[in-house]
Structure 1
Amino acid sequence: MSKTRNKIVSSLPVTAFLGFTLFVFGPSYIYFTNVLEFSYTYSEIFRFLALFFLTTVIFFTLILSTLKDSLFEKGVSVLFAVSFLLWVQGSVLLWDYGPLDGRLIKWEDFRYYGYIDSIFWLGCLFFALYKSKVVCRFASKLSIALILTQLITISIAYHNAPKPSFKGYVFDDSAKFTFSKKRNVIILVLDAFQTDVFHEIINEDGKYASYFDGFTYFRNALAGFAKSYAAVPFILTGQYYDNSIPIQQFIKKVYLDASIPKVLKENDFRVDLFPLINHTMYADERVASNIKKKVLKKRAIPKIFDDANKQQAFLFDLTLFRYAPHFLKKFVYNGQSWFLSGLFRAKHNDVLFIEEMISSSNSADDIGVFKYYHLNGAHLPFVLNENLEFERLKPNRNGIRQQAKGMLKLTDLFLKKLRDLGVYDNSLIFIIGDHGGGEYPLGVNVQASGYEENTVSPSIHVRIRGAGLPMFLVKPFHSKGKLKISDAPVSLGDIAKTIASELNMEQDFPGRSVFDIREGENRNRRFLFYDFEDDWNHKYLPAMQEYLISGFSWLAESWKAGRQFKPNEKRPERK
């Protein structure tokens, strides 16, 4: 009995090191350094981390305590080696595979990472087996020291993590598809849907244009920003972010000062927001009707296994990806589907959106209704074909076009359902990309517009231009007829002003109503381009390059570089 107790005492720090590294430190560090990516609070996930940690410790401690002395020594040594290897892999051997945003990883380009990992892992395991007495002698003390090191690291990460408002709220979807028989204002965002892709599609097949009865296609449109983080507040407020204050502080200010959601709510509209990315919104009950304070409920079954909360499984996928040696990462990534969270994804979220809309939408004799829906649209991963069927598409223009066609079919189903409900005519509808697809190998097909590119060697890279060219379609109240095409120089920042104008509200938003802007008008517009260097968790955005556009937005000759807006913070050097 005394010998068993001694085995438990000596092995406990080692099993705790394994459990802590894999189920506490790993997920916690990823969470706090990417806190804006997750909709849930740390307290919601911590109990599951604690459960997995304790299960791991108890399981391996019991196994080790039953081993014979010679095997016990080797068991402790090997377990410590595995724990140490996991820690080194996740803390030191951090290979750069590019953004894990759904794009394919060319594993063959990184095979040398695998050689390094394999040599290191095999060498450490070999040493642990053949020098087990030496390793076992120091394993407990080293385990405690490394656990303390991890605790300090987590504490620093927690202290530096942003504290966004949306963590304490939920976006209630109980009235997600309830529309007003009186009047509706609807913004449907198809993320990264580039305007020349839309033009190319309707040129080739007129059926796609026929979906948009009463709409005007503003093909000479311009985005405000290259990515959703700043683009969404720009759409809903018309305000440009300039890196002079932290972006979450800016988001709070502009949503509470004068945003379309807040102003409409103050004017007795029901305002429902359904963002793709929560931290693009300021979650506050003054801003929207469906923002509710989060109430944590006790659950008999861990939430991690609930199909409604895939993000928690995704956190563990990221942990496994970070801590696994190179040749195992491929199986964790699972061809963009991920090892654990992929088990929950029976259907694409955009397909689930339209199925729910068709099956559960309704109308009510109600006050005016504002809906903001943000879908994945033409953004990575490219896994939906033109029939809204799952298909892994190549990340090139043809693959993007196929997914874009699928999104247009989805939009057609959405609009048909509004007609079935009898609310189409009394709705002001915007169907837009929040920006173009500049980060993808897409290019800009200027010829689709009938224009010719006059600049032989454009000084503005086509990727930058593409990012600034969103699809932009608008249907005013009671508008009918075939899709019109306008070359009026509009911007996504005009949406707030357009809504106020169409509702005869006197709220002074930036920009102009798109219906007041004439074709051929000489109007200067702004676009700010930036790339995420590493993550979204800095207080400021990376340095943003301003471009001034005068003329047709697709043409390089219309673009001129302006000022640069650098973040008011010191950023760490990239590794």
Structure 2
Amino acid sequence: MAIVAVWMYVAFYGLAPNFGSLDGRPLDFAAYEQRGWFELALLLAGLVFAVISGKRFIVPLTIAAALFAVVNAVQVLTAIDWGRQPLTSGAATAADLTASNDFVTSAARTLRIPELSSSRNIIVIVLDTFQNDVLESIVRTDSVIANALEGFTIYTNAMGHFPFTQLSIGAVLRGEVYDGRETIPAYLERTNAQKLPAILSGAGYEVDLLPLHSRHAFLAGRVSRCRAYAEVVDLFLFRQVPLLLKRAVYDDGQFVVTRNCPQATPVTEQEQDLEVLSRISQHLVVSREQPTFKWIHLWGMHPPARLDADCSGTESHFDGASVRAQGRCILGKMADILDQLKAEGVYDNSQIFLISDHGSLLGFIENQENSSVPLRVRSSAHPTIAFKDFGATGPLEFDGSPVVLADIYPTILKAVGVSTDKLALNELFEGQHRERFYTFYKSAAEATQERLSRADTFTISGNVRDNAAWSVEPSEIANIPLGRIDLGTDEALVSANYAFSTEAAGAGYSWVLSNPATVDGVLPEADTLAISARVLSPHEGQEIRVSVNGREVALWQISTVNGWETFETTVSLDQRELGAPGVIALDILIIEPINNSTRPLGVLVDWINVEGK
């Protein structure tokens, strides 16, 4: 037992790979199978050692095991918030309206979501990751959903600001886009007072909030104490069990301990969405005289897709077909709520926004043409914006005006009589010249830091779905020494540009998806620079042109298909380049899908090394 305890502690801190977000998405456990058998061999060797060594090591091992057990128990006990009370025990406060955290609120603030006003209602429903062209393709082929969207306009040229949720939602709620000139916490703190809930509360609206991570509170009326504790235990257990057992602990995102809690709410994110929408539809009532503002943030189309078009469960997928199937399910539930609003007589006096925070990383449904800006970047910039104003009637319409998510803020302010010089959605028009800007970064976790490690900015002049409308703004070169860059690591986020893919955590490599693929930083203070890389190409006749600060220095011709090769070249540096910021660029000859179902791929890069000679 002492050996097992010591091994579990070592596994927690040294052996557990980084699987990324443990939120129900499929995890590639098969990729770690060999490593899992190696871990098991280590454990068995330790047990054999314990038997052979007899009593010689029993005392130190027992002391170590006891120490590790105490440390681990303390960590678990301190990670659990034992003092947390059911959130409904306290009334909603003004602090809910100006909080920096846009993902949670007090349970009391969620409970009156189904209660509407007979005067006016402003309703914003966020379907996470629901891409605009996916919505359009569904409503153009489903007359039932299209008819339910009476009075709505879908903005087919809608654009977001960021590829992930936190900063995207911040732009909608605050009407101001984070620009990198201050830290992210400072931006949130400075703009909290101008959030829509605070402004509308001051304008006489009763504010109800249902953020993404408060759906449990809405459904159960409180936060499940068992679930709150079990989630912490599951996370510790997931890190400590051998790799070969992690799949069973994860259980497709349900987790082995959490799933055994008395469930007041569904386990999976998608089932929670369905339950929330059903609860709102079933309990919708007109019971208030003061106008209301409602913010509802759902899991939506966030990967993976686990629902069929009829809302029955299916295996986890995230491809075009599964996304459209789940989209039909979610929109069908949304249609039920809209029909209920009509039946209660408050549809006409409600302003309704059906939006997403960003698009997906899957690319567009129809235009899969590759360009200098990867498909995943362009599609992630294309969120849903569908809007019905007070009193709007008639069939669903489509509008190509160059709108952005931040335009929702002035649209709401002007509806309640708050002055602003910003343009509302319905004040923009199709064909209008408007330069829009999009900032891409590779990891959602970046927005939880002080600043984004690396952000690439694009200008869109025209339709967001048009390759020709996109141009790249010059990026600030990373202020770190160029050396060995292992692709697929957090460190590579700083130096490698948007042309490199973001693979599953622990993959340890990246695909080049477009040209040019660059790494930048401070060049060595040496007259001669050596550049090397380990690459793999799925294409025959592949070539890589290597450039330093814009001048071509080498042509690497890959001779094998699907085999790793290492290349190296040396180049003389100009005196002005020594110790100065520099850019190493790879231009790939062939970037094409390797079959009909994959994204365009160039070469797979394991590492790039830059050193002075």
In structure 2, the CA distance between the partners of 1:153 and 1:350, relative to structure 1 (3 Å rule), is closer
Partners in 2 of 1:568 and 1:178 — Cα distance? Answer: 53
Q: Pick from 230, 250, 254: which aligns with 2:167?
A: 230
1:167 CA displacement = 11
Bigger drift between 407-416 and 131-140 goes to: 131-140
AA matched with 2:432? E
1:410 aligned onto 2:333: yes
TM-score, normalised on structure 2? Answer: 0.68
* 1:444 paired residue number: 364
- Tell me the equivalent position of 1:376: 299
Indicate if the aligned counterparts of 2:5 and 2:69 stay in contact, CA closer than 8 A.
no
Distance 1:222 1:482 in 2: 23
Tell me the SS of whatever aligns to 1:338. coil
> Quick check: 1:104–1:335 contact (8 Å CA) kept in 2?
yes
Check 1:572–1:144 CA distance in 2 against 1; reply closer, same or farther (3 A cut). Answer: farther
Structure with the higher helix share, 1 or 2 = 1
Q: Which amino acid aligns with 1:192?
A: T
Kept in 1, the 8 Å contact 2:6–2:64? The answer is no
Q: 1:488 is matched with which residue? A: 401
Percent identity over the alignment is 25
1:210 aligns with 2:143: no
1:19-34 aligned at under 5 Å gives the runs: none
Is the CA contact 2:165–2:444 (under 8 Å) kept in the aligned structure 1? Answer: no
3-state DSSP of counterpart to 1:523 = coil
Cα RMSD for the two superposed structures: 3.3
List gaps (5 residues or longer) in structure 2: 81-98, 482-488, 493-505, 507-613
Q: 1:103 matched to which residue of 2?
A: 25
Shift of 1:140: 4.3
Aligned to 1:64: none
Note the alpha carbon deviations across 1:340-392, whole angstroms, 9 max, x for none: 23343367111111221122222124211100000011112321221222222
* Contact kept in structure 1, 2:115 and 2:288, CA below 8 Å: no
Note the C-alpha offset of 1:148.
8.2
Query: Residue 531 of structure 1 contacts residue 542 of structure 1 at CA under 8 Å; is this kept in 2?
Result: no
Q: Is the aligned partner of 1:545 residue 2:456?
A: yes
Aligned to 2:16: 94
In the alignment, what sits opposite 2:127? 190
Corresponding position of 1:129:
51
Instruction: Kindly indicate whether the alpha-carbon contact (under 8 Å) linking 2:353 and 2:386 is maintained by their aligned counterparts in 1.
Output: yes
- Say which SS state the counterpart of residue 235 (structure 1) adopts: helix
Query: Which residues of structure 1 form unaligned runs of 5+?
Result: 1-78, 279-289, 292-296, 448-452
Q: Which amino acid aligns with 1:475?
A: K
Residue 243 of structure 2 corresponds to which residue in structure 1? 326
Decide whether aligned partners of structure 1 residues 87 and 170 sit closer, same or farther in structure 2, where only a CA change above 3 A counts: same
Displacement of 1:479: 0.7
Distance 1:475 1:556, change over 3 A: same
Q: Residue type of the partner of 1:100? A: L
Q: Is the 8 A contact 2:159 2:381 kept in 1?
A: yes
Letter in 1 for 2:285: N
2: CA distance between counterparts of 1:569 and 1:275?
A: 38
Normalization by structure 1: what TM-score?
Answer: 0.72
Match of 1:262 among 190, 194, 198: 198
Paired amino acid for 2:123: I
1:542, CA displacement in angstroms? Answer: 3.5
Distance 1:544 1:213, change over 3 A: same
Query: Which segment drifts farther, 239-248 or 187-196?
Result: 239-248
Shift of residue 121, structure 1, vs aligned partner? 1.0
Q: 1:131 to 1:536 in 2, by over 3 A?
A: farther
Amino acid at match of 1:177: P
Aligned-pair CA distance for 1:535? 6.8
Structure 2: distance between partners of 1:316 and 1:536: 26
Q: 1:573 to 1:551 in 2, by over 3 A?
A: closer
Distance 1:221 1:536 in 2: 23
Letter in 1 for 2:10: V
Give 1:443 shift. 1.8
The aligned amino acid for 2:363 is G
Cα distance in 2 between the residues matched to 1:198 and 1:189: 13
Query: What letter is aligned with 1:516?
Result: E
Instruction: Report the Cα distance in structure 2 between the residues aligned to 1:443 and 1:498, rounded to whole angstroms.
Output: 29
Alignment of 1:241-390 (within 5 A): 241-256=178-193, 258-277=194-213, 304-305=225-226, 310-343=227-260, 344=263, 345=266, 348-390=271-313
- 1:500 correspondence with 2:413: yes
Determine the structure 2 residue equivalent to 1:512: 423
| C-alpha displacement of 1:234 | 0.4
Contact 2:208 2:293 in 1 (8 A): yes
Match 1:531 to one of 437, 442, 447 = 442
CA contact (8 A) 1:192 1:378 kept: yes
2:259 and 2:245 mapped to 1: Cα distance? Answer: 16
User: Could you say if the C-alpha distance between residues 346 and 261 of structure 1 is closer, same or farther in structure 2, counting changes exceeding 3 Å?
Assistant: closer
**Contact 1:245–1:568 (8 Å) recurs in 2:** no
CA distance, structure 1, for counterparts of residue 337 and residue 5 of structure 2: 51
Tell me which of 458, 462, 467 is aligned to 1:556.
467
* Contact 1:217–1:474, Cα closer than 8 Å, also in 2: yes
Q: Distance in 1 between matches of 2:466 and 2:472?
A: 14
- Name the SS for the 2:456 alignment partner: strand
The one of 360, 363, 373 equivalent to 1:460 is: 373
Shift, 1:180, TM fit: 0.8
Aligned to 1:34: none
SS of equivalent residue, structure 2 residue 126: strand
Q: Deviations over 1:399-441 (max 9, x none)?
A: 1111111111111011112122221110000001110012xxx
Secondary structure of the 2:411 match is helix
